[in-house]
Amino acid sequence: EKYAAHYFENIGAEIMGAGMFGLHANPDDPDWRGWWGEEPPFHAPVFVLTHTPRPSIEFANGTSFHFLSAAPDEALRTAVAAADGRDVRVGGGPTTVREYLRAGLVDELHVGITPILIGSGIRLWDDLRGFESGYRVTSEVAESGVTHITFSREG
């Protein structure tokens, strides 16, 4: 799909929550290096938001993980500096993404909706009523049935 093909295009840095990195599932393992093995797909600096200090991890393919205890705007400034003029992606999970949406720090948001019911989880849109104001909203349904919705800041 076109979204998968461009997932990492022009990404200079990424921000993600500790859960997405796997720290919640592996809190007592100081050697945990993430879900991706020795070749994480990012090829850029990744800033993992956590309250637990950890040393940075460097990989041969250009991916590095840096662990920050920072407010969304502070972490974004750090990631923008590291991105060297390229895009910064907030990769989530949903709690992290909601913090950035609530703070007004998202220029473009891509949401993929898969046609399954899981019954529980974190609701992305809670406390974000009217978020779409000031954004152009487009959608596309892929052959797989996944609906891709993109919110792009106007202006």
Query: Mean pLDDT across the chain, nearest whole number?
Result: 88
Residue 113 has what pLDDT? 83
What 3-state class would DSSP assign to 152? strand
Fold type of domain 2-153: Dihydrofolate Reductase, subunit A (3.40.430)
Q: pLDDT digits over 9-63, tens only?
A: 788 999 999 999 999 899 889 899 999 999 999 999 999 999 988 999 999 999 9
CA pair distance 15, 4, nearest whole angstrom: 18
Q: pLDDT digits over 57-102, tens only?
A: 999 999 999 999 999 999 999 999 999 999 999 987 788 989 999 9
The answer to whether residues 89 and 11 touch, using CB atoms and an 8 Å cutoff, is yes
Summarize the confidence of residues 121-134 as an average pLDDT. Answer: 85
How many other CB atoms sit within 10 Å of the CB of residue 97? 21
Residue 1 has what pLDDT? 47
pLDDT bracket for residue 155 (50, 70, 90): confident
Residue 111 has what pLDDT? 87
Q: Tell me the domain boundaries of the chain.
A: 2-153
CA pair distance 151, 132, nearest whole angstrom: 7
Q: Is the pLDDT of residue 4 over 70?
A: no
